[in-house]
Chain A
């Protein structure tokens, strides 16, 4: 069965510093997709970045980049130049192989950015 593991319940970072949020996944599929979402206290899930298993380069979106290590089955999110507004819950997710593209989420990491 597919599974997403986020081992960091909480992380702290100083404003303007970079931070890495860990995500490991388990799947027997050759083709899969990995996502990161941000959830502020308001509750809405905000899409950040996507990595396909066949993508040769690590995905980047502005200050977000994904450190994709296929052999280790890890897809860590790197946030550069942290801002106070980055304080939120962050979820790693995988597209389910059973069809219909439903997402399987990890338990999340709460990030706190300190001034």
Chain B
């Protein structure tokens, strides 16, 4: 297993277009997170999946954003009618089911998708 992968790594789009990002977590990790990171800031939580269920969404996730995780494997994040303010790095992370071991709290991050909206 080579870790969390994300596709594409870079996306340039025009304002108003729709974009979709994909995240493939580490196999057997049932927890999947999406974060957004703007320039000069730390990542901010967007949404969380446990298996195929989307259990939490941040208020940052406006109606133009939608995320899915069919069959509890890969996940997609779609942004409709993109705006220049959507330009950011979109990070995906996965982690195994919580257990008593402290290291199981670790989230493993993918390389991110850098979105530029012109």
Contact = CB atoms under 8 A, between A and B. Distances in A.
Interface of A: 4, 33, 35, 37, 42-47, 50, 52, 55, 91, 93, 95-96, 98-108
A103 B102 contact: no
Nearest to A54: B102
Contacts, number: 68
B56 A101 contact: no
B103 A50 contact: yes
B105 interface: yes
Contacts of B48: 100, 102
Contacts of B110: 44
A106 B37 CA distance: 11
Contact of B114 (A43, A52, A93, A100): A43
B85 interface: no
Contact of B89 (A43, A52, A103): A43
B88 to A, nearest CB: 11
A106 B95 contact: no
A35 B45 CA distance: 15
